[in-house]
Structure 1
Amino acid sequence: MVATLVKLRFLVLKNTLSRSPWQIVAVVIGALYGLGLLFGIVAGLIALSFAPLDVTTQVLIIAGSALVLGWVIIPLVFSGIEQTLEPARLVQFPIPLPKLLLGLGLSGILGVPGLVTTVAALAITISWIRYPAAAVAAIVCGLVGAVTCVLLSRAVAALGSGLASKRRFREVSGTIVLIPLILAGPIIIGVTGGLSSLDADTFPRVARVLGWTPLGAPWAVPADIAAGDWLPALAKFVIALAFLAIVIVIWYRAFASALVNPPQQANKLRGAGKVGLFGVFPATPRGAVMARSLTYWVRDPRYLRQLISVPILFAVFWVVSTFNENYILLYLTGPFIAFSLALVIFADISYDGTAFATHLANGVRGVDDRWGRVAALLSFGLPATVLGAVGSVAISGEWAFLPAILGLSLGLLFSGMAVVSVSSARFVITVPAAGDSPFKSNAGGSIGQAGISFAVMGMLLLFSLPEIVLTIIAFVTGDIVFGYATLAVGVVLGLVLMFVGIRVGGRTLDRTGPDLLVKLKLLRNG
């Protein structure tokens, strides 16, 4: 039974790869990335074998603790990525639980992340090659640490399976994780500044504390043996084994509970007459599309994370500009907001999924569909773009630059509406399904999406080239006349392109609508 479960995992992978050559490309790229990462880790471990004992100890304990913590965090914020052998799929099979857990554990270890972690953990032996007893201990402790990582991830996923079935939990978790990713720049600046002010005893203290915790205990045992501290090494090995046993018990009970009580999707009933935004906008095709699009922007995490990024990006640009005492990056706030918001809907029908069939069944004209989606985005995108442009100038105090910055921002926004009105009528891409984690993706899907998005970005930059050139001239010469020229060109040319793009996109959608629906069904079925 255990062998069957492991075989099933690789059979699913084989079937996935046979669907499309892009699936194979994506997996090969992932494998190469894993091998590159593993090569870098091994090279670092070889270098540590020549370092002083205290340096090797500190680096391995802190890095090993971060590795274990990473295996805990990943299933929390990227819920739903591993769907091959989840509890809900195994409820109907009468498989003994111990054999089931053993099979799932082995399949997790034999996956790419598990293999990379296991090999890296065993490679720690290289760093202790000068101390034979420590090297032998590193093999045993490396296996304990690697198994702990994989099973801890499984336990956390099993504990969170009930919460992960709730759409609101997925929305909140998927959106929250975006915040530290966007704030990576200021965080790196702050961490770098903080590390530079630390004294020489900080890292040894941190390593000593982590070595007595379940996170760092497996990696601290060889270090204590190398230093001749056998009693602390034995105590830490007991901590590592006890923690692994606790993880197994927690996983056993959580998985057993998930099998007996599989997560159920809850359906929320809305009271009669409560139609949300559909009762606010006109009862016309354009009004209905606008209401539905705005509902997506407010409630769908795939859209909501883009809205959250707007104020955070402004904060990032402000922090970096203040740190460098240069406001050039801050001036790009308005243009960047316009550029990024426009690109969100470059393949907007993909997010509709097969629900797009309602547009076709009700005979919604393509031009009405285009206007509804554009109006929904402009209802908040236009104020956000203007505030970003004005706010950046207000902070710097250089009001002479406002016309140029505002013209470039509006030109990018309106021209972007023109480009995406056509592109979203021609292309659909693989996106997370409604209710899934916004970070979930299918193998190979990101490659095609990247090609289309680069083409759309290129067209947008081409259509906005007059405003870009005039903005550069305005900044170089300091002549406000070029600034007002940028504003005029951005508004007039941008609006003309937007109206033309909506008309062209509408006619295109009338022609391609049935084909897009067929492609959406194929993407949904994998």
Structure 2
Amino acid sequence: MVAHLLSLKWRLLLNGFRRSPWQIVGIVAGALYAAGLVLSAVVGLVALRWADPQTAQTVVVLGGALAVTGWAVIPLVTSAADLTLDPSRFATSAIPIRDLLPGLALAGLLGLPGIATLIAALGTVATWSRGFVPAAGALVGAVLGVLSCVVASKVVTTAVSSLLSSRRFKDISSILFVIPLVLAGPIVTAVVGGVGDSRDYLPELAAVVSWTPLGAAWSLGGELDAGNAAAAGVKLLIALASLAVLGSAWYLLLGRAMVTPAYAGGGSGKAGKAGLFGIFPATPAGAVAARSLTYWMRDPRYAGSLVVVPLLPVLFYFIGSQNGNQDLLIVVAPMTAFLLAWSISADVSYDNTAFALHLATGVRGRDDRLGRALACLSFALPLVLLFAVGSAAATGRWEWLPNILGSSLGTLFTGLGLASVVSARWTSAVPAPGESPFKKPPGNTAQTLLVQFAGMGVMAVLLLPEIAMVVTQAVTGQAAFSWIGLAAGPVFGVGFFVAGIRLGGRWLDRRGPEMFAQLADNR
């Protein structure tokens, strides 16, 4: 049974290379990236052979503990667990769990994460190749450590299999995973600074972790190299006992999963509530605005773009703290206005086949454009105003507040007008409803990039009056230009907004069927 499961997993891996050429390119690129990381790790572990034993022990133990933690946490957070051999698929096969469990465990090693972890773990043998006994202990520890990684991952994913099968959980966890990616710069800087300030603390931390299930297996080579055979024996027992406990927990959870597979069906809803449709006016534009705002609130593809906005002040504050000048915070409001306004440039593409409702009901293009823009404006306007006032208060540069407000409002209204024109003429390859908001489907990628960059260029040209007032105030230092910018921004912005709604509406009236045909091609 073990050999059969391994052959199944191997066939699934090979089938990944029988897809479209671009998917093969993605797989190869991922494999090369993983190979680079593994090579760097192995080179570092080999170099540790000539390092101080305490330093080598600290790096190996803490690195191994992070590996075990990552295997247990990352699949849960990113919904990226390997479910190619999902236990629920064997529920009708009547396979004894004692035969299924070892096969699934070894099959978990087949794949980029498993192979990379195994190679890096074997690199610790080179670290402790200062003698036969430490190298042998490191080899045993590497095997136990890798098995602990795989089994810990299986325990977590099996325990939350019902959550992992839930589309809402996948969407939310994927969106939350973006937060540390966006804040990668501040996080890495803080970690590096913390490590630099606590070099003496890390060996003590590694010594404590080495007595826990996370680091016991990884510390065997170092203990034997130091001649601590008794400590190595105790830690070997800790590693074996931890693996046994994880295996027992997985055995029980696997038995429950085989009997009661996860159910991903939808829930029942209550009828009779109009929701946002009862708040917006009973007009075609109001109905479109209510539907669009409902998407903003419930569709993870829209929420994926919104999650970045609250993090912008953090990023700009971090950048300012590096040079001791927080004046860069005044850019937060115009940047937020641009991101939110431009986000509706692919609104029709996100509709997918639901755009047929607009065509079938005869909604005028002007009402369609206005409704989508009002939906975005309903939350973008308060947020932009809040960021504008907040940035002036944080920096103490109140003389810039009128210009910040003018440029932010001009950017918001101008961007909404331009996006209303762009989304009425071109479609983009976006994730389909129900897919991950960060999935990039194959499609008209070249056209999408060209339209996006060209649109941003046009946006910069339309914002020249606001930019001119900001530059003039910065050069002359005269506050009068700030008040001129406050007046110019809304005037030019609203003008471009009205023009964009009308032009986009006319284009949509003429090209509605062609737009729907393009949406079908992008699926």
| TM class by smaller structure | 0.7 to 0.9
Equivalent residue number for residue 336 of structure 2: 337
Bigger mean CA deviation after superposition, 174-183 or 251-260 = 174-183
Q: Does structure 2 retain, via aligned residues, the 8 Å contact 1:331–1:393?
A: yes
Distance between the aligned counterparts of 1:230 and 1:447, measured in 2? Answer: 60
Instruction: Name whichever of 370-379 and 132-141 sits farther off.
Output: 132-141
1:79 Cα deviation from its structure 2 partner: 1.5
5+ residue gaps in structure 2? none
For 1:7 and 1:509, the matched residues in 2 are separated by 53
Report deviation, 1:221: 0.7
1:278 aligns with 2:277: yes
Aligned to 1:161: 161
Secondary structure of 1:215 counterpart: coil
Asked whether the 8 Å contact 1:350–1:428 carries over to 2, the reply is yes
Gap change, CA 1:268 and 1:248, over 3 Å in 2: same
1:149-208 deviation line (CA, Å, top 9, x unaligned): 12322221111111234455445544444444444454445445544543x541111001
Q: Which residue of 2 aligns with 1:53?
A: 53
Q: Which residue of 2 aligns with 1:231?
A: 230
Distance 1:108 1:95 in 2: 18
Q: C-alpha separation between the residues in 1 aligned to 2:185 and 2:504? A: 37
1:71 aligns with 2:71: yes
CA distance in 2, matches of 1:295, 1:221: 56
Contact 1:302 1:438 in 2 (8 A): yes
Counterpart position of 1:385:
384
Alpha-carbon spacing, 1:406–1:10, altered in 2? closer, same or farther (3 Å) = farther
User: How far apart are 1:294 and its partner, in Å?
Assistant: 1.5
Moved more, 253-262 or 502-511: 502-511
1:396–1:328 CA distance, 2 compared to 1 (3 A): closer
- Taking a change above 3 Å as real, the CA distance of residues 202 and 8 of structure 1, as seen in their structure-2 partners, is same
Alpha-carbon distance, 1:357 to partner:
3.5
Match of 1:493 in 2: 492
In structure 1, give the amino acid aligned to 2:132.
P
1:230-259 Cα offsets, whole Å, 9 max, x none, are: 111122122222222222232233233223
**1:278-427 equivalences in 2 (<5 Å):** 278-318=277-317, 321=320, 324-425=323-424, 426-427=426-427
- Letter of the 1:413 counterpart: L
Q: Is the 8 A contact 2:137 2:221 kept in 1?
A: yes
Does residue 1:21 correspond to 2:21, yes or no?
Answer: yes
1:473 aligns with 472
Work out whether residues 429 and 445 of structure 2, in 8 Å CA contact, stay in contact via their aligned partners in 1: no
Amino acid aligned to 2:49:
S
Letter matched to residue 260 of structure 1: V
For 1:265, the equivalent position in structure 2 comes to 264
- Alignment gaps of 5+ in structure 1: none
2:352, 2:432 within 8 Å by CA — same for their partners in 1? no
Equivalent residue, structure 1, for 2:148: 148
Change (3 A) 1:14 1:479: farther
Q: Secondary structure of the equivalent of 1:385?
A: helix
TM-fit CA distance, 1:223 = 0.7
Asked if 1 retains the 8 angstrom alpha-carbon contact of 2:429 and 2:440, the reply is no
Q: State how far apart, in whole Å, the 1-side matches of 2:480 and 2:503 are.
A: 34
SS at match of 2:212: coil
Q: Kindly report which structure 2 residues correspond to 1:185-224, keeping only aligned pairs within 5 A, or say none.
A: 185-188=185-188, 190-198=190-198, 200-224=199-223
Query: Shift of residue 349 of structure 1?
Result: 3.5
Q: Does 1:124 find its partner at 2:131?
A: no
Could you say what secondary structure the match of 1:84 adopts? coil
Identity %: 45
- Letter of the 2:377 counterpart: L
2:427–2:519 Cα contact (<8 Å) kept: no
> TM-score scaled to structure 2, two decimals?
0.88
Alpha carbons of 1:41 and 1:189: their partners in 2 closer, same or farther (altered >3 Å)?
A: closer
**Which deviates more, 180-189 or 43-52?**
180-189
* Counterparts in 2 of 1:255 and 1:447: CA distance versus 1, 3 Å: farther
Secondary structure of the equivalent of 1:364? coil
CA distance 1:16–1:90, shift in 2 (3 Å): same
Name the SS of the counterpart of 2:227 in structure 1.
coil
How far off its partner does 1:95 sit? 4.5
User: Deviation of residue 61 (structure 1)?
Assistant: 0.7
CA contact (8 A) 1:174 1:301 kept: no
- Distance change >3 Å, CA 355–CA 496, structure 1 → 2: same
CA distance in 2, matches of 1:396, 1:294: 33
How far apart are residue 4 of structure 1 and its match?
A: 5.1
C-alpha contact (below 8 Å) 1:80/1:437 kept by paired residues? no
C-alpha distance after superposition, 1:460-482 (max 9, x if no partner) = 44543553354233223322344
Equivalent in the alignment of 1:255: 254
Once the two structures are overlaid, the 10-residue window that deviates more, 292-301 or 167-176, is 167-176
- 8 A contact 2:444–2:522 mirrored in 1: no
Contact 1:421 1:501 survives alignment (8 Å): yes
- Higher alpha-carbon deviation: 165-174 or 472-481: 165-174
Contact 1:346 1:456 in 2 (8 A): no
After TM superposition, give the deviation of residue 37 of structure 1 in Å: 1.0
What's the offset of the Cα at 1:123?
A: 1.4
> Contact 2:443–2:522 at 8 Å: present in 1 too?
no
CA 1:241–1:316 in structure 2 vs 1: closer, same or farther (change >3 Å)? same
What is the one-letter code of the residue matched to 1:225?
L
The equivalent residue for 1:135 is 135
Output the amino acid matched with 2:500.
Answer: G
**TM-score between the two structures when normalised by the length of structure 1:** 0.87
Whether the 8 Å CA contact 1:24–1:444 is kept in 2: the answer is no
